[in-house]
Amino acid sequence: MKVFNEKILRVKLKNLSHSTEKLDINVAKKFIGARGLGAKYLYDEIDPKVDALSPENKLIIVNGPATGSNMPTGGRFMVVTKSPLTDGIAYANSGGYWGPAFKGAGYDMLILEDKADKPVYIYLGDNDVVEIKDAAFLWGKTATETTVELQKIHGEKAKVLCIGPGGEKLSRMGAMMNDYDRTAGRGGVGAVMGSKNVKAIVANGTSAFEYPDAEKAKEIAKAKVKFLREQPATGKGLPSMGTAMLVNLVNNNGLFPVRNWQSSFYDKAEDISGETLRDKYLVKRSACYRCPVACGRVVKNAAGENIGGPEFETVWVFGANMDNNDLQVINDANELCNEYGLDTISTGAAIACAMELYEKGYIKDEEIAADGLSLKWGDKKAIVEWVRKTALREGFGDKLAEGSWRLANSYGVPEYSMSVKKQDLPAYDARGMQGQGLNYATCTRGGCHIKGNMNPTEVLAPPEIRLDRFSTEGRAVHVKNTVNLATIVDSLGFCIFIRAVGIPGFIEMTNALYGEEVYTPESIVEASERILTLEKLFNTKAGLTKADDTLPPRLLNEPIPDGPSKGHVNKLHEMLPEYYELRGWDAEGVPKAETLKALGL
Amino acid sequence: MKVFNEKILRVKLKNLSHSTEKLDINVAKKFIGARGLGAKYLYDEIDPKVDALSPENKLIIVNGPATGSNMPTGGRFMVVTKSPLTDGIAYANSGGYWGPAFKGAGYDMLILEDKADKPVYIYLGDNDVVEIKDAAFLWGKTATETTVELQKIHGEKAKVLCIGPGGEKLSRMGAMMNDYDRTAGRGGVGAVMGSKNVKAIVANGTSAFEYPDAEKAKEIAKAKVKFLREQPATGKGLPSMGTAMLVNLVNNNGLFPVRNWQSSFYDKAEDISGETLRDKYLVKRSACYRCPVACGRVVKNAAGENIGGPEFETVWVFGANMDNNDLQVINDANELCNEYGLDTISTGAAIACAMELYEKGYIKDEEIAADGLSLKWGDKKAIVEWVRKTALREGFGDKLAEGSWRLANSYGVPEYSMSVKKQDLPAYDARGMQGQGLNYATCTRGGCHIKGNMNPTEVLAPPEIRLDRFSTEGRAVHVKNTVNLATIVDSLGFCIFIRAVGIPGFIEMTNALYGEEVYTPESIVEASERILTLEKLFNTKAGLTKADDTLPPRLLNEPIPDGPSKGHVNKLHEMLPEYYELRGWDAEGVPKAETLKALGL
């Protein structure tokens, strides 16, 4: 494999045929790869107005130039499709080992079209082997069961990307799972895979990455690993505590939403903190391909078996956000999400939203009586069981599987869904972080932190260079730059957790992959703006408008009632016009003709 | 002593009389203290158009609320006057132990008026003892000689603030020296003291700081010390290498001016780096009052005696900026500046400017023949001797003593002076740091880094949150915030090196000093804006205009010729209008009436 194999595999599921075509390397460079390249193909190939769960949608799985290389975290793949949750563009990436095995089979991109008449799985081996096989025996199985079954057939080195019952049953929160418990989680990409009757994609390519100058690349990779080991987050916090290192940091700033965002300081945070997870639950750490950080956790489930541990957002959503301070319950809920193939954030948020709807009297006892489960805050047994019912669409779980926005909307009160573009927000209260709110409101894939996370600049930075998190002044520039950086990382095939290397570091690594100076700081930033604007254009054509670039009314109108961020709301209106202008989008958020021209779109 | 003693000492030098008056605590709070309070009194009491070296100018020495407390670095005092260098406002602060001894004598502020007929010194002891004494025996003596003599008379615990021959001879670069080698250096404040015929001020007050809640204050101080010890700069870099830790960092970014800013990467930087200073020259560290950082250096002079070592700017100006890679020469030049009482930056910059004027043929051999010294780049012997001649106004040194701008201007080429408002720039090339250029251009005391240093955000920050140093986008907001923070630190009486505690940290300490919530983040920032705007108003009334808020033409028009910042110039015009607007100043940089009203001016 090379930086790009320059080969696309296209599978027409309707007639179970496949074909390959050449990837134009100039197009690849123009859109960097992975997220950018996927957006380009999705935009060119589907009508943004199609039903996301119809055969007319396509599911694109695509690597970046770094995928499969020896650069730190260079193992990620991206899934791009139209989202059944947001009805805009979805892009979700994952680590583990599947991406390199897919690239090792000789492809850069897999495009799934139409829908198979019955469940299938796809096998990709060396020497151009492509098999589309019956998957009836796998349907209904969990991620682990599916993976074990397929490795029995294809060997233990085969890498499995699959869906669980969540995706099969078209939950709008359905995730794609790979390497047992790695997740492309957000936007319902697993439901799209389920809608196409594809249970799994097994990648078993073994070719190695070929560098123009292997020695130089090795040196650069080594230097970057050293650098990452010296940084506080990637060298110390994340290895020691996983992403849950953030629980105390975020809570101590009064930014950790409690009871579906009714407040934002959790007095029992210590019980579910990264420190507690480490000291009382951690069995060992786990790492994705070529990752020196190893933020992955291994913990035990209730049965005493080793399972993947929860990360920060999961700890929050099944913890503070539903007033549950029992980490074992969080571990168990996380395991179920992984096994059934559900996005943890949206699943937890849907349950928390239901709890508030119950508290406020919208959901009546009789509706959930048959389920035998309560919707009371912090009901430990119920939390885990609601995850199961959501995945299987059992009883009231059928409503939960539609996600918090559609749930709340069915009661006429969508404002109780703490989401943007119907996708649930993560664990940072944007009332106390102005820039984070602008990021939430404008993220092209809907409510999301990771694609422009302002936590490093608004909360984690040393005080003297930290931005005033309550101020909107000049904030749009920062959000723009942070979103650009995340777009670059996503498109190259790296993990966002190594963002500390900065744009110069990413360029150094990427140019070493290519063996030539493909990008300068200016040109890679321009490429990121091209990608962002194309995603925005997709959403515009899909029917999303400025009215979708907003926040839940609670964040705009209800001041945080207590804690260190007490009294604040998000002042999105002070930032949004400047953000649009900086992006070259008009006052309605539609990319201007001159911007499209300047970006070569 | 308390947070404020609420007492001002006024000395009328003409008739050698003195009186005290009450300091209105509300005025003190409104202007925070030190720099802010000094600006308030200077603005109210003198005509900004007076000749800075005339009896009509006043010299104000003023403490902040933190001075003399047990908070880390809480020992600084500020000198405020009209500058004979810039003809605008001057404020220069210093650490050491003099400030607490002055506060311990019962005062917050000393205002020196008129001019004594002959040299005097002032003695301030406990129990309201104020003596104005003949200083004929001290005139012409160095800082160390003066201090030793006065300690013979008043005891070794007496703290001495004095001028050397530099100030006596009215060098526009004359500094005030205290505790042997601590310096209030910039803007020619020593010349103002000399113009008043005051050689020294001995402070010998011994009263201790009284806290409303001493236990709580102690706890807070302890926590802040702990925090500072954990930060990379204050816990590791500065203690180990002093401020010269920056030599390699700044040079490796191509920002370290060479040969009077003709280029900005010094290939011999390693010879004069903080590492080399530590490994080959350091005898021991030294610390100001209550400082956990101890960035002060003790090294040996050519005679083998212990002397104060150079800090970063001094290393640069007597090193790279005149192409000298001999640290012993820098140590010696630094010692002479301290002993003669000269600002190292301006003195070095004047010599470097002369070297370029010589190189370019403006200064002819015959002009310096009588001095027996060359003006060739890197002439080690000449560098040290030019400092002496500058201090004593001997030969060509008489011209150098006027500073680089007046020197270059006398040849009709002021553009060879690398200064803003005639005050020489420090060691960061603003062509490769856009925000630093805006800071230089707008600093109310003229060319200066420390009052709004963008190095932490544009260079030192971790890459992913570092500002793009070549971009001007949104930069004005950052400069404004950084300048505000420095104004707060200056006015409280802390050292800028503890800025890592951030505004919340400074407020926590300050409120503990008062024992009540005097400031919120909003109110202290507002106070800083009040101070800045008052300083700007002083300058405006003194005759400075928008044309003075600029950079040397070299920084605007000549791209850096090589190194990591090659090809860049400063794009001040892209930032200045926004900065004025953010400050509430009009397009000409004059504070608007509505701004004055809003700030209560």
Provide the H-helix boundaries in A262-326. 274-276, 312-318
Q: Report pLDDT digits (tens) over A529-581.
A: 999 999 999 999 999 999 999 999 999 999 999 999 999 999 999 999 999 99
What is the chain A residue with the closest CA to B484? A464
- Tell me whether B463 touches chain A (CB under 8 Å): yes
A291 in contact with B at a CB cutoff of 8 Å?
no
**pLDDT tens per residue across span A119-175:** 999 999 999 999 999 999 999 999 999 999 999 999 999 999 999 999 999 999 999
- Model confidence at A1: pLDDT above 90: no
Query: Phi, psi (5° rounding) for residue B113?
Result: -120, 160
Q: Which residues of A touch B499 (CB under 8 A)?
A: 464
Provide, as residue numbers in chain B, all residues whose Cβ is less than 8 Å from the Cβ of A230: none
Find the Cα–Cα–Cα–Cα dihedral B435, B440, B445, B447, rounded to 10°: 160
Question: Which of A477, A502, A582 is nearest residue B464 as measured by Cβ atoms?
Answer: A502
* Closest alpha carbon within chain B to A484: B464
Of the candidates A461, A463, A502, which has its C-beta nearest B501's C-beta? A463
CB contact residues (below 8 A), chain A span 486-545, against chain B: 499-505, 521
Average pLDDT over residues B411-421: 98
Q: What is the pLDDT of residue B258?
A: 98
Q: In CATH, what class is B434-598?
A: mainly alpha
Per-residue pLDDT tens digits for A198-231: 999 999 999 999 998 999 999 999 999 999 998 8
Which residue in chain B has the smallest CA separation from A472?
B477
Per-residue pLDDT, B464: 82
Q: What is the ipTM of this complex?
A: 0.72
Which one-letter amino acid corresponds to residue B550? T
Cα(B513)–Cα(B505) distance, rounded to whole angstroms?
13
Query: Which of B393, B483, B507, B403 is CA-nearest to residue B91?
Result: B483
Digit-coded pLDDT (tens) for A133-144:
999 999 999 999
Residue among A456, A473, A501 whose CB faces B465 most closely = A456
With CB atoms and an 8 Å threshold, state whether A499 touches B468.
no
Instruction: Tell me if A500 and B464 make a contact (CB, 8 A cut-off).
Output: yes
Of A1, A75, A77, give the one whose Cα is nearest residue A38: A77
A2: burial class by Cβ within 10 Å (0-12, 13-18, 19+)? buried
Whole-number average pLDDT of chain B: 96
Mind telling me how many Å the CA of B463 is from chain A's nearest CA? Answer: 5
pLDDT value of residue A538: 98
Residue B342 CB contacts under 8 Å (≥ 6 apart), including other chains: B164, B166, B171, B173, B174, B175, B190, B336, B387, B390, B391
pLDDT digits (tens, 9 = 90+) for A237-247: 999 999 999 99
Q: At residue B465, does pLDDT exceed 90?
A: no
Which residues have CB under 8 Å from B79's CB, separation 6+?
Answer: B38, B59, B60, B61, B62, B90, B91, B92, B93, B94, B176, B184, B189
CA–CA distance, A335 with A305 (Å, rounded to integer): 11
Asked whether B538 and B547 are in contact (CB, 8 A), the reply is no
Q: How many other CB atoms are found less than 10 A from the CB of residue A303?
A: 8
Name the residue facing A474 among B464, B477, B499 (closest C-beta). Answer: B477
Q: Which of A461, A463, A582 comes nearest B465 by C-beta?
A: A461
Range with lowest mean pLDDT among A129-138, A170-179, A334-343, A456-465: A456-465
Q: How far is A476 from chain B (nearest CA, A)?
A: 9
Confidence of residue A465 (pLDDT cuts 50, 70, 90): confident
Every domain of chain B and the residues it spans: 434-598
Mark yes or no for CB contact B463/A231 under 8 Å: no
Question: DSSP alpha helices (H): ranges in A473-520?
Answer: 475-492, 502-514
The 10s digit of each residue's pLDDT in A372-410 is: 999 999 999 999 999 999 999 999 999 999 999 999 999
Q: Does A464 touch chain B (CB under 8 A)?
A: yes
For residue B488, the model assigns a pLDDT of 98
Distance CA B246, CA B233 (A): 10
Using CB atoms and an 8 Å cut-off, which of residues 52-91 of chain A contact chain B? Answer: none
- H-only helix segments in B344-497: 344-359, 365-368, 380-392, 397-400, 404-410, 434-442, 455, 475-492
Q: What is the mean pLDDT of residues B159-167?
A: 98
Q: Which residue from B minimizes the CA distance to A228?
A: B462
Spatial distance between the Cα atoms of B448 and B256, rounded to a whole number of angstroms: 15
Using an 8 Å CB-CB cutoff, list chain B residues near A582.
Answer: 473
Q: How many residues does chain B have?
A: 601
Spacing of C-alpha B348 from chain mean position? 15
DSSP annotation of A258 reads: B
Q: Residue A2: pLDDT band by 50, 70, 90 thresholds?
A: confident
Structure tokens that stand for B525 in this block? 């920032």
The answer, for B435 touching chain A at a CB cutoff of 8 Å, is: no
Exposure of B223 by Cβ count < 10 A (0-12 exposed, 13-18 middle, 19+ buried)? middle
CA-based Rg of chain B, rounded to a whole angstrom?
A: 22
Three-class SS state of A108: coil
- Cα–Cα dist A119/A140, whole Å: 11
Q: How much is the pLDDT for A302?
A: 83
Query: Could you tell me if B528 and B32 are in contact, meaning their C-beta atoms sit under 8 angstroms apart?
Result: yes
Give the sign of the dihedral formed by CA A79, CA A81, CA A85, CA A86.
positive
Confidence grade of residue B538 (pLDDT, cut at 50, 70, 90) = very high
Joined together, the tokens standing for residue A234 give 């990637």
With cut-offs at 50, 70 and 90, classify the pLDDT of residue B232. confident
Integer Cα distance of A353 and B204 in angstroms: 68
Which residues have CB under 8 Å from B231's CB, separation 6+? A462, B500
Give the C-alpha separation, A383 to B335, whole Å: 72
| Structure-block tokens of residue B299 | 């090294």
Looking at CA atoms only, how far is residue B58 from chain A in angstroms?
Answer: 34
Residue of A nearest to B457 (CA): A465
A517 vs A508, A520, B463, CA distance in Å? 9, 7, 20
Q: pTM to 2 decimals?
A: 0.85
A35 confidence band (pLDDT: 50, 70, 90): very high
- Asked if pLDDT for residue B261 goes beyond 90, the answer is yes
Q: Please report which confidence band the pLDDT of residue B194 belongs to, taking 50, 70 and 90 as the band edges.
A: very high
Ordered strands of the A306-308 beta sheet: A284-286, A296-300, A306-308
To the nearest whole percent, how much of chain A has pLDDT over 90? 96
Average pLDDT for A327-336: 97
List CB contacts (< 8 A) between B521 and chain A.
468
Please give the average per-residue pLDDT across B10-31, as a whole number. Answer: 97
In the sheet where B182-184 sits, what is the strand order? B130-134, B120-124, B198-203, B159-162, B176-178, B182-184
Q: For residue B370, name the pLDDT band (cuts at 50, 70, 90).
A: very high
**What is the per-residue pLDDT for B60?**
98
Three-state SS across A56-76? CCCEEEEECCCCCCCCCCCCC
Q: Are B297 and B351 in contact (CB under 8 A)?
A: no
Interval B34-67: pLDDT, tens: 999 999 999 999 999 999 999 999 999 999 999 9
pLDDT exceeds cutoff 90 at A232:
no
User: Mean pLDDT, to the nearest integer, of A87-113?
Assistant: 98
Q: Which of A231, A464, A505 sits opposite B500 (nearest CB)?
A: A464
Dist CA A568 CA A570 (whole Å): 7
Measure B520 CA to nearest chain A CA, in Å: 13
H-run or E-run covering B504: helix B502-514
Output the average pLDDT for chain A: 96
Chain A environment of B502 (Cβ under 8 Å): 462-464, 466
